[in-house]
C-alpha cells in the first residue's frame, strides 16, 4: 500500500490548511489503512484517516475528545448524542514515519461507534492499557483538497515540544474506518479476532471486499435501519459458496439451506453462510446472476430484504438466521477446507500462538 501523503505536504480540510507531520500505517487481516498526523497554523493536532475501497479513497478526520462518556458494549454518548457500536478488532502498526512515537508490530485494540446520521464516529483505542478517545467526522470529496504545496517547517522542526508525547500513540493514533462511500451507508459489522487469526466479526464481508471474483453492487436497508452490503459474481451459487468457504474457512461457523419464500410473486432460495457476527445469503436473481448479500445477523428479521437490481422494489426473504437447516453438503466442504487450512499452516511452520 503506497503512502498517499508526504512529510510537510499541505492539505485543506473544510477550508482549514494543515501540514503533514507523520504517518501510521495499520493492518488488520487483509485490510490496511493510513492515519496522518496533521497540524494547522494554530498548532492544533488532528488525524486524517485514508483508506481505499474499490479504487476510491475514503477520508475522515479525528481529534482527541475526552468528553466521551457512558461507555457500554453497544453505545456511547457524546454531548447528548448517542452513537451505536458497529466495529471492533485488533490492528497492528506495519509502518510509520515522522514524529508519531509508535513501534512496528505494536498492537491496538479498538472499538468504534457511529451516530444515527452516519456522519460521525467515536473511536476508543487501548494501547497496552493506555486508553485514547477521539471523535471523527466522515468527509466527502468536496471537503478535502490535497495540494502540491509543502510546508518545509513541518519536515525540519520536529523537535518542538508540540510533537513530543509519552503515550504509545503520540496522543491520538486513529482507528480503522469501516468503508463508507458517498452513495451508500456503512454496513454495521463488528467482531473480535478469533484464535486462528481470522476476523471473528466480519470475515465474509472483508473477504468479498478483497476478492477479484466479487464486485460490490450496493447496500440495502431494512425497516429497522439495519444495513447489508450486496456483491455480484459470475460464479454459480455453488462456486460462490465454495469460494467464500475457501477464503475464510476458519471464520465461517455454519452453512445452511435457505428455503423458498414468496413476496410479490418472487421466490428467493439460496445458501446461508454464517460467521460469528454475520449472515451472508448467496442466491440468484435476474438472468441467473449470482449475488451475495452480507450483513450483521441483526439485519435478518421479518423485514429483511434480498436485492434485485432490475426491479423497482426489493423482494423480502423472511427466514431468520436461527430457522435455517444445516446444509450437509457444504458443512462437509467446510470441514474439509478447515482441515486443509490447518495442514497448510502446519507445513509452513505456523500455528496457534500457544506461547502466550
In terms of Cβ atoms closer than 10 Å to its own Cβ (0-12, 13-18, 19+), residue 109 is middle
Contacts with 289 (C-beta within 8 Å, 6 or more apart), sequence order: 232
Averaged pLDDT score across all residues of the chain? 75
Give per-residue burial for 287-318: e unless 16+ CB within 10 Å, then b: eeebbbbbbbbebbeeebbbbbeeeeebbbbe
Q: Which residues share a beta bridge with 59?
A: 50, 139
> How far apart (Å, rounded) are the C-alpha atoms in residues 264 and 305?
12
Q: Which three cell numbers stand for residue 108?
A: 491496538
For the ranges 87-91, 277-281, 307-311, the lowest mean pLDDT is seen at 307-311
| Contact (CB, 8 A) for 190 and 222 | no
Checking if the pLDDT of 181 tops 50, the result is no
Q: Which of 302, 320, 294 is nearest to 228 (CA)?
A: 294
Q: What is the pLDDT of residues 209-220, one digit of tens each?
A: 889 999 988 877
pTM of the model: 0.48
Q: What is the pLDDT of residues 78-129, one digit of tens each?
A: 888 888 887 888 899 999 999 888 899 999 998 888 888 889 999 989 898 8
Q: What is the DSSP string of 214-258?
A: -EEEEEEE-TT--EEEEEEESS-HHHHHHHHHHHSTTT--EEEEE
pLDDT of residue 296: 80
pLDDT of residue 73: 67
Report which of residues 165 and 258 the model is more confident about. Answer: 258
Report which of residues 200 and 277 the model is more confident about. Answer: 277
Report which of residues 236 and 268 the model is more confident about. Answer: 236
> How far apart (Å, rounded) are the C-alpha atoms in residues 263 and 241?
25
Q: Which of 318, 322, 329 is nearest to 259 (CA)?
A: 318
For the ranges 107-111, 190-194, 257-261, the lowest mean pLDDT is seen at 190-194
> How far apart (Å, rounded) are the C-alpha atoms in residues 181 and 176?
15
> How far apart (Å, rounded) are the C-alpha atoms in residues 290 and 308?
11
Report which of residues 10 and 169 the model is more confident about. Answer: 10
**Domain regions of the chain by residue span:** 9-163, 203-347
Mean pLDDT of 160-188: 38
Contacts with 282 (C-beta within 8 Å, 6 or more apart), sequence order: 237, 240, 241, 244, 270, 271, 272, 273, 290, 291, 292
Q: Which of 339, 224, 330, 335 is nearest to 282 (CA)?
A: 330
Checking if the pLDDT of 158 tops 70, the result is no
For the ranges 62-71, 158-167, 199-208, the lowest mean pLDDT is seen at 158-167
pLDDT of residue 273: 87
Mean pLDDT of 320-341: 74
Q: Which residues share a beta bridge with 19?
A: 10, 39
Report which of residues 261 and 293 the model is more confident about. Answer: 293
Mean pLDDT of 268-277: 80
Amino acid at each position: 500500500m503506497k503512502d498517499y501523503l508526504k512529510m510537510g505536504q499541505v492539505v485543506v480540510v473544510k477550508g482549514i490548511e494543515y501540514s503533514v507531520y507523520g504517518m501510521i500505517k495499520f493492518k488488520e487481516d487483509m485490510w490496511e489503512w493510513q492515519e496522518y498526523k496533521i497540524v494547522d497554523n494554530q498548532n492544533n493536532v488532528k488525524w486524517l484517516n485514508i483508506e481505499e475501497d474499490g479504487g476510491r479513497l475514503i477520508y475522515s478526520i479525528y481529534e482527541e475528545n475526552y468528553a466521551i462518556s457512558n461507555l457500554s458494549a453497544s453505545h456511547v454518548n457524546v454531548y447528548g448524542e448517542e452513537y451505536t457500536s458497529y466495529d471492533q478488532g485488533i490492528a497492528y502498526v506495519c509502518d510509520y514515519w515522522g514524529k508519531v512515537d509508535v513501534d512496528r508490530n505494536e498492537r491496538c485494540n479498538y472499538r468504534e461507534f457511529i451516530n444515527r446520521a452516519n456522519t460521525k464516529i467515536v473511536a476508543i483505542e487501548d494501547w497496552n492499557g493506555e486508553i485514547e478517545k477521539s471523535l471523527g467526522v466522515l468527509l466527502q470529496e468536496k471537503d478535502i483538497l490535497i495540494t502540491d504545496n509543502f510546508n518545509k517547517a513541518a519536515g525540519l522542526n520536529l523537535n518542538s515540544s508540540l510533537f513530543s508525547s509519552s503515550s504509545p500513540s503520540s496522543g491520538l493514533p486513529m482507528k480503522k474506518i469501516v468503508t463508507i462511500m458517498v452513495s451508500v451507508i456503512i454496513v454495521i459489522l463488528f467482531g473480535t479476532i478469533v484464535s486462528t487469526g481470522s476476523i471473528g466479526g466480519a470475515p465474509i464481508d472483508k473477504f468479498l471486499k478483497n476478492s477479484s471474483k466479487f464486485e460490490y453492487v450496493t447496500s440495502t436497508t431494512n425497516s429497522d435501519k439495519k444495513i447489508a452490503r450486496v456483491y455480484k459474481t459470475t460464479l454459480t451459487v455453488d462456486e460462490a459458496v465454495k469460494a467464500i468457504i475457501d477464503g475464510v474457512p476458519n471464520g465461517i461457523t455454519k452453512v445452511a439451506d435457505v428455503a423458498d419464500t414468496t413476496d410479490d410473486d418472487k421466490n428467493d432460495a439460496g445458501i446461508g453462510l454464517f460467521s460469528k457476527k454475520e449472515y451472508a445469503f448467496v442466491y440468484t436473481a435476474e438472468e441467473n446472476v449470482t449475488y451475495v448479500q452480507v450483513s450483521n445477523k441483526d439485519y435478518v428479521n421479518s423485514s429483511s430484504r434480498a436485492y434485485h437490481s432490475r426491479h423497482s422494489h426489493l423482494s423480502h426473504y423472511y427466514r431468520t438466521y436461527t430457522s435455517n437447516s444445516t446444509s450437509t453438503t457444504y458443512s462437509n466442504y467446510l470441514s474439509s477446507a478447515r482441515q486443509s487450512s490447518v495442514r497448510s499452516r502446519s507445513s509452513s511452520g505456523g500455528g496457534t500462538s500457544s506461547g502466550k
